[in-house]
Amino acid sequence: MIDRRSLLRTSGVAATGALAAAALSPSAHAAEAADLTRVPRQVGSDPTEGVTRTLLQEHPSPAKGWEAVQTLVEIPRHRESGRHSHPGVEVGYIIRGEVLMKFDDRPALRLCTGDPFFIPSGAIHNAVNVGKVTTMMLSTYVVDETKPLVTMY
């Protein structure tokens, strides 16, 4: 398990500026469509290298023992989040880019700029950047406050 504080790193970029700058026009969205079945990697390289999770906000939930956490996740081209799960639900939105969201227990989802997504509590998943730009995802979690935000597999 990974400690929540060590996993979430601040990037020094204002969150509102990063979100505003990330919007893509429909023509840019079409231009970034690519072969979603092939993700080249360098032999021996860490597929999660360069992935960042920036903590935007964290608040107690109205339900005792739970908290709401919001992050900005950035996944560089040809990289992935790594197989992981959360101790609660994840509600997300693709700000920019394309990912293939792979699951251990269900079919994968192709998600593009503007797509929302929902990850059930405990579902093991891996977001693979299959586009031509660094993917930016806004993820909001409602999680058990006594457990790490992310458990890697």
pLDDT at 6 over 70: no
20: helix, coil or strand?
Answer: helix
Residues of the chain above pLDDT 90, percent:
70
The pLDDT value given to residue 46:
87
Q: Which two tokens stand for residue 29?
A: 């969205």
**4-22+48-152: CATH number:** 2.60.120.10
Whole-angstrom distance, CA of residue 111 vs CA of residue 127: 9
Residues 112-134 have a mean pLDDT of: 98
The CA distance from 147 to 87, in Å, is 7
Task: Tell which wins on pLDDT, 16 or 130.
Answer: 130
Task: Quote the CA–CA distance of 16 and 13 in Å, as a whole number.
Answer: 9
Does residue 29 carry a pLDDT above 80?
no
**pTM of this prediction exceeds 0.95:** no
Positions of E strands within the chain: 52-60, 66-75, 84-85, 88-96, 98-103, 109-112, 116-119, 125-129, 135-144, 151-152
Q: Decide if pLDDT at 122 tops 70.
A: yes
Residue 2 has pLDDT above 50, yes or no: no
Residue 9: the pLDDT is: 37
For 30-62, what is each residue's pLDDT tens digit? 333 333 334 444 544 789 999 999 999 999 999
